[in-house]
Amino acid sequence: MIVGERVSVKLYGGETAYRRILAIREKTIVVCAEEEYERAHLVGEMPSGLGFPKEDILESAS
């Protein structure tokens, strides 16, 4: 996994969604929605995201 990669994430409640990786930490991976990723890059800002446990990152979606 690399920063910027699109991945499938297990959300709270058991649902899944595609997200972009913003940061990889020791126990968590910070991700954001595709819309936030694109919006932030268009205006030159850092996207805001949420950290998920590494085991909740299910697969690469690229």
Residue 19 resides in a domain: yes
Domain encompassing residue 49 = 6-60
HEC assignment per residue over 9-59 = EECCCCCEEEEEEEEECCCEEEEECHHHHHHHHHHCCCCCCEEEEHHHEEE
**18 with 6: CB under 8 angstroms?**
yes
Residue 1 lies in a domain: no
Query: Which strands sit side by side in the sheet containing 57-60, from one edge to the other?
Result: 50-53, 28-32, 16-24, 6-10, 57-60
Q: Is residue 33 part of a domain?
A: yes
- Residue at 21 is within a domain: yes
- For residue 61, pLDDT over 80 is answered with no
Across the chain, mean pLDDT equals 93
**Residue 39, pLDDT above cutoff 80:** yes
pTM of the model: 0.87
Q: What is the pLDDT of residues 4-32, one digit of tens each?
A: 999 999 988 889 999 999 999 999 999 99
Average pLDDT over residues 36-61: 93
Domain count of the chain? 1
User: What pLDDT score does 33 carry?
Assistant: 96
